[in-house]
Amino acid sequence: MKKVIMIAAIALVAFACNKNQAAVKKLDGTWNITSLSQSEDGVTLELIGTFIESGTMTFDGCKLKDDEFCNMTTTTKTVAAFGGITTTDAALYNVTNDGTILQSKEDASSTTVDQIEIIELTKSNGEFKQTDSDGAVTTIKVEKQ
């Protein structure tokens, strides 16, 4: 009986890791940001087309191990009225909680890890939601290039 319980526990852990790795595999590549909105106190502001002309998120695929992070890059270009400035930010990411949480941090030495909920993730579309400590919600919708 103990062997059966042990095998079931190992299978459960392997299954959870597979969901995280499956999400990393889907994320691998470059995604166009189709919507970037911020909601606070009942007011929602769409940033794409208002302040940001375009944006991409690029995720490098990797084989996740415990506490391991992969590379990601976010590039945005402001609308002409705000200078048309292109900004590129590098960060690290991983996927946890059976493929439902995207964690990100600035670099390997960062102790602050942002938790981003994966609302939807298919091979061609994604939606992520992050709620900050003040209750403001940022929603990002992406489409695979």
Task: Read off the pLDDT of each residue in 89-105 and give the average, rounded to a whole number.
Answer: 96
Residue 94 has pLDDT above 60, yes or no: yes
Task: Read off the pLDDT of each residue in 107-113 and give the average, rounded to a whole number.
Answer: 94
Domain containing 31 equals 2-144
Give the SS3 label for residue 99.
coil
How many domains would you assign to the chain?
1
Place 113 in a pLDDT band, splitting at 50, 70 and 90.
very high
Query: Which domain CATH number covers 82?
Result: 2.40.128.20
Residue 24 exposed, middle or buried by CB count within 10 Å (0-12, 13-18, 19+): buried
Torsion of CA 61, 62, 64, 65, to 10 degrees: -160
What pLDDT digit, counting tens, does each position of 14-64 carry?
444 589 999 999 999 999 999 999 999 999 999 999 999 999 999 998 887
d(C-alpha 1, C-alpha 82), whole Å: 67
Extract long-range pairs of 15-19: CB within 8 Å, 24+ residues apart.
16/98, 17/64, 19/98, 19/99
CA 60 remoteness from chain centre? 12
Question: Is the CB of residue 72 less than 8 Å from the CB of residue 94?
Answer: no
